[in-house]
Amino acid sequence: MDHHQPGHAAPVLNDAVPVRHPGRWISAIVIVGVLALMVQSVITNHNFRWDVVGTYILDVKVVQGVGWTLLLTVASMAIAIVLAILLAVMRQSDNPVLRYTSWVWVWFFRGTPVYTQLVFWGLIAVLYPKISAGVPFGPELFSVDTSTVITALVAAILGLGLNESAYLAEIFRAGLKSVDKGQTEAAEALGMGKGKIMWRIILPQAMRIIVPPTGNETIGMLKTTSLVLAVPFTLDLTFATNALANRIYLPVPLLIVAAIWYLVITSLLMVGQHYIEAYYGKGVDTNLAPAVINPAAAKAAAAVAPSAEAEPSLKMDFPEDEAK
């Protein structure tokens, strides 16, 4: 295992002239130039009205709009994720009824526009003025007015969440399928039940595949919430900034206000996604330097090396500090 010649001098490292990359310099100059022009125009063009952006960026209505947009995003994604896990597991079930139900759900909610679905949820109280539960053709157990249960907020969350569940179900299905069959077999051979195998063995591994596209979907959802005026739900960020813009006849600065807030939230979501990915990547994505495997053996090898002079160079081969 030892390629060193104990007792000999350390080798002279090659000092080669690296390849030059003039293309990098040219592209950098071009891009910096274009950027400078854009920045100059954005600053000097008075039509951007940065003073108005400054006035409204922390306006109460805008900040509340951010809050509602976040609530819509989080709540509808939560519903969508729970439904998607259920749908993906149903799709893999031995039970054909569950399999087909899952397929039809995805077919329907993916196959109609989210705008249409939101309008539909807004009109649900017209279709069904009362919600009641009871035995089919038998007595009624309870009954409530639909409009008190399905408020505009609930309609918006349901509309976004159910639509999204169809897309997420496909992402989860792909994730579950990506896990090697040997994992299920190993867990089965240990006598684990189906539920435990799914929750403890398959899903945690599938999450590595599921998280990146789900992060993508969450960012997409953040912006899809601007469609809730179809319900109509009128408190979200886009509606709030539009309303302000219409009042002061200045659409551009308020579009910038909205864009800034969407960018800020997206950036925060990306940070969150980074940590979730790191969590589910443990044992697989973590950089496993060879030194991690066996620092003790490396030391032992160094100790039995025939010459003491060889030791300093051996240490360079096994950077134990990197192992931590």
Partner 1 sequence: MTITTQKPLVRIEGLHKYFGPHHVLRGIDLTVNQGEVSVVIGPSGSGKSTMLRCVNLLETISAGRISVGDQLIGYREVNGRLHDLKVREIAAQRREIGMVFQRFNLFPHKTALYNVMEAPVQVKGKSKSDAKKAALELLDRVGLADRANHYPAQLSGGQQQRVAIARALAMEPELMLFDEPTSALDPELVGDVLNVMKDLAKSGMTMIVVTHEIGFAREVGDRLTFMDGGVVVESGDPREIIANPQHARTKEFLSRVL
Minimum CB–partner distance for residue 203 and partner 1 (Å): 10
Backbone torsions φ then ψ of 231, nearest 5 degrees: -65, -55
Closest CA to 254 of 19, 59, 94: 59
Tell me, residue by residue from 233 to 272, as one string, x for binding to partner 1 by CB under 8 A and - for no binding.
----------------------------------------
Is 132 strand, coil or helix? strand
Q: Which two three-digit tokens encode residue 6? A: 């104990």
The label of the residue with tokens 């589910």 reads 280
Among 134, 283, 312, 319, binds partner 1 (CB under 8 A): 283
C-alpha dihedral sign at 59, 64, 69, 71: positive
284 binds partner 1 (CB under 8 A): yes
Nearer to partner 1, 173 or 208 (CB): 208
Minimum CB–partner distance for residue 301 and partner 1 (Å): 16
Helices (H) and strands (E) in the chain, counts: 17, 2
8 binds partner 1 (CB under 8 A): no
Stretch that binds partner 1, among 15-23, 31-39, 56-64, 276-284 (CB under 8 A): 276-284
Separation of CA 49 from chain center: 34
Among 60, 141, 296, 304, binds partner 1 (CB under 8 A): 296
Q: Which two three-digit tokens encode residue 153? A: 């907020």
Return d(Cα 72, Cα 191) in angstroms, integer.
42
Minimum CB–partner distance for residue 119 and partner 1 (Å): 43
Which residues, numbered 106-145, are part of the site for partner 1 (CB under 8 A)?
Answer: none
194 binds partner 1 (CB under 8 A): yes
C-alpha dihedral sign at 188, 193, 198, 204: negative
Among 192, 243, 252, 301, binds partner 1 (CB under 8 A): 192
Nearer to partner 1, 152 or 323 (CB): 323
Which residues, numbered 152-191, are part of the site for partner 1 (CB under 8 A)?
Answer: 180, 182-183, 185-191
Q: Which two three-digit tokens encode residue 104? A: 């039809």
The label of the residue with tokens 């950098």 reads 28
Closest CA to 317 of 297, 293, 291, 296: 291
196 binds partner 1 (CB under 8 A): yes
Question: Site residues (CB under 8 A) for partner 1?
Answer: 180, 182-183, 185-194, 196, 200-201, 204-205, 280, 282-284, 286, 288, 292-293, 296
